[in-house]
A and B are shown apart, each in its own frame.
Chain A
């Protein structure tokens, strides 16, 4: 049964992992997302649903455990924060290369290096432009509420298995730590061994005598085979780009200027829209929900319909703004505003930037 609760973003994510019918979670503590594994250990899903929860010896081990369980056809998750996610990149590249489904969350903190435990959105490049080695993509969902921390776990698993791809829930310290009302979705039962064997014939479940063995690998020593594998991956990414773009438009119908933002910056920008409207300025918000696939076409359309300017608002020195620039292709004005290194911008600062850099600039 769905249930209404007041929860922290990290707790809602953890509860959603159990409710999504996940078979396993492998994690390693790091601030500001340690509540995820703490919640799981105290909720004992091993008793509730039989789900495995294991605190690994490192983030490297945790992501490789995810690789193992995903290869075995299981619904598996991990989560971490920026420095830990950097450590996981090798494993994510292998998961993408071997075409395995998994969901993982990054509750982003400020960097570079050990940085700060305060919120940030400076891992956009790592999430969207690669992170690990090789030509690969992952689906990236950006929650802007505790509700979405929960919902995107369920959606993430659906997408991960539909495309056999890693799905990243790119959150940040604000969304992970804040408490909000959340409607928890109805629990989904875990799949049985028979169901897994039927639905995922590629998974390592033990080879039936006289049948072909299953091999989970990302190794193709023959360059022609490697190119074919890459072509297959690119085809999949193209299909995802065409079918899975998600975004939300707020006060955009009559807008002359828009904020482009995701996650906690989108919430701040939404408040800035209200402040702008109170001043009589025709400002809207284009909230990104999927960061890959990026709503390039939708932004282009806005541009061709005469949108006068876009302000990319993000808690970074300017990362997502590059994808806005690529979408706009010079047909309209694009600027960036953001505080970073653990500082969260205010709605007033955001509106002031819109007025100075775009409207008056």
Chain B
């Protein structure tokens, strides 16, 4: 039997994973172990698989994913901190036949941009919002976020979040699910292959909703890790997330087809 060479192995028919063309070849700016890269990839795969590349406009926020447009190979607009839902509202209103989505972190969506988030959801804008919740401000170096858990340490809550003085974490996803303008609200994660598949299905459903003209916002929260900000190894951060984040932010659908689950 002839020896198997590298050339034999890398034949197209043997490939089990092909990077979507809707991800650029730029090196990701995210820390190794971070969930952003996976979330980017599945969002772009969905747009690719649904054939929406030529019709989609994305909005990048301020935060770790401020440079999302460097990695997402579609037309993109960078938005001021927290204002992505307002920017997306306008793009969708002036291009009603195009697909518009925002990709935002927790500081962007649930602190400085709460007003824009609530009102875009309440007006029922036909947009997709992908919300990455890692309970911390990653970009600026690990400060407390609106979603930081009680007792959780960050650089601005170095002794742990004291809810008596620092307030409670905001479950904004449950909040927007209550609004009449949301059509689909779900909470997912991307830390295991099984969860990646589920999250991708949810993102696909969200884009299909918009494509099919289902009225209202499709809102996907992805509970993710921030191993650098949490000061853990990637593996430990995923275990910590399962043990601490998921009990507070339980995974699963919250609202489907405009009805609370």
Contacts and interface: CB of A to CB of B under 8 A. Distances in A.
Interface of A: 23-24, 26, 52, 54, 56-58, 60-62, 64-69, 71-72, 74, 76, 90-91, 94, 98, 204-209, 213-219, 221
Interface residues on B, range: 20 to 34
B57 A72 contact: yes
B80 A205 contact: no
B89 A65 contact: yes
Interface in B51-96: 53-57, 59-60, 66-67, 69, 72-80, 83, 86-91, 93-95
Given A64-B83, A67-B83, A221-B67, 6 more contacts: A61-B89, A69-B90, A71-B91, A204-B77, A207-B74, A219-B67
Contacts of A206: 53-57, 74-75, 98
Contacts of B88: 68
B115 interface: yes
Contacts of A205: 57, 75, 95, 98
B90 A26 contact: yes
Interface of B: 53-57, 59-60, 66-67, 69, 72-80, 83, 86-91, 93-95, 98, 115-116, 119
Contacts of A57: 115-116, 119
**Across the A-B interface, the 10 shortest Cβ-Cβ residue pairs:** A68-B90, A68-B87, A65-B90, A217-B78, A64-B83, A57-B119, A204-B75, A64-B86, A61-B86, A216-B77
B72 to A, nearest CB: 8
A60 B93 contact: no
A61 B69 contact: no
B91 A61 contact: no
Contacts, number: 128
A64 B87 contact: yes
A178 to B, nearest CB: 32
B94 A61 contact: no
Contacts of A90: 80
A55 to B, nearest CB: 10
A98 B83 CA distance: 15
A221 B80 CA distance: 15
28 contacts: A23-B94, A57-B116, A58-B115, A61-B86, A61-B116, A64-B79, A64-B86, A65-B93, A67-B77, A67-B80, A67-B83, A67-B87, A72-B57, A72-B94, A74-B94, A76-B94, A94-B80, A204-B75, A206-B54, A206-B56, A207-B75, A213-B69, A213-B74, A213-B76, A214-B76, A215-B76, A216-B78, A219-B78
A184 to B, nearest CB: 24
Given A56-B86, A206-B56, A206-B57, A216 B76 contact: yes
Contacts of B54: 206-209
Contacts of A221: 67
B90 A76 contact: yes
A26 B54 CA distance: 27
A61 B80 CA distance: 10
A54 B77 CA distance: 20
Contacts of B66: 219
A65 B55 CA distance: 20
Q: Which has the most chain A C-beta neighbours within 10 Å: B53, B55, B60, B86?
A: B86
A311 to B, nearest CB: 41
Contacts of B95: 72, 205
A214 B93 contact: no
B90 A207 contact: no
Nearest to B56: A206
B116 to A, nearest CB: 5
Nearest to B88: A68
Contacts of A64: 79-80, 83, 86-87, 90, 116
Given A57-B119, A217-B69, A24 B94 contact: yes
A225 to B, nearest CB: 13
B202 to A, nearest CB: 24
B86 A65 contact: yes
Contacts of B67: 219, 221
Contacts of B115: 57-58, 60-61
A62 to B, nearest CB: 8
A206 B95 CA distance: 10
